[in-house]
Structure 1
């Protein structure tokens, strides 16, 4: 299925349909992966970019000085955070899929919250149209396609 030619509303409906079907079939391993993310990110403490050396290294290797959404220096926007492009509350089986993670500033992460990716794209398009191309460029196309497989 070609996802590139669909409107945001269609993509959001499709993702919800597929996500809901998969969510009802969660396995024990899915929940283990969900918990593994918490351990990977927070051994001791509650720091947004993780407290394990592995998570800190991942953040260092997968970010630079600027948020890929708003393009502000992280220090100007509350620091760096690890975010799931597809929220783990809706897609717990993708919680340790590193293609689903990105480093964004705290303010952008709070704006995104638990929105599904296409819902977030629509939100950005309506409220911050000048940021839309950056968000669209970060679209997790392979992950979204995998939902359909």
Structure 2
């Protein structure tokens, strides 16, 4: 178990990069299958950010309200809802279908976050949008990082 309590942001950057890069070199066929399961869960056809399968639509409905948890704006004012991976699936494909790793945010915030690792994103928000930092920090995926093995 990785203990992240009381660590500074710099230490969390290092930890996230170390874990992601270390595991990424040891991916199994099951890891890639989990990565693909997300696409199957989310899409019937096409590429719609909140999914086209009933299961993904239900998940979005059950795990979001009318407002983006980052910027606080109404989703309809920011291009709609998107399903985002807190820890990017490009670096953590084995967490693609870990629902603790998913959250619903507006399209504008999702595009701005892009493929940034969570802690890089957290730092980016702190520097560029300090008023939004507490909301992002509260959504930090602590459980996911604690569940990762050295």
TM-score > 0.5, shorter chain as reference = yes
Match in the other structure for 1:69: 70
Match in the other structure for 1:118: 119
Q: Distance in 2 between matches of 1:19 and 1:43?
A: 30
After superposition, residues 35-50 of structure 1 pair within 5 angstroms as 35-50=36-51
SS at match of 1:67: coil
**Alignment length (residue pairs):** 149
After superposition, residues 42-61 of structure 1 pair within 5 angstroms as 42-61=43-62
| 1:148 CA displacement | 3.7
1:21-67 CA-partner distances (Å, limit 9, x unpaired): 11111111110111110111111121110000000000000000000
Native 8 Å contact 1:19 1:147 kept in 2: no
**Length-normalised TM-score, structure 1:** 0.97
Match in the other structure for 1:5: 6
**Length-normalised TM-score, structure 2:** 0.96
Q: CA RMSD in A?
A: 1.0
Q: Distance in 2 between matches of 1:115 and 1:12?
A: 11
Give structure 1 regions of 4+ aligned residues with deviation exceeding 4 angstroms.
none
Task: In structure 1, list runs of 5 or more residues that go unmatched.
Answer: none
Task: In structure 2, list runs of 5 or more residues that go unmatched.
Answer: none
Match in the other structure for 1:100: 101
* Range 62-71 or range 5-14, more displaced: 5-14
Q: Distance in 2 between matches of 1:148 and 1:36?
A: 23
State whether structure 2 residue 15 is matched by structure 1 residue 14. yes
SS at match of 1:49: coil
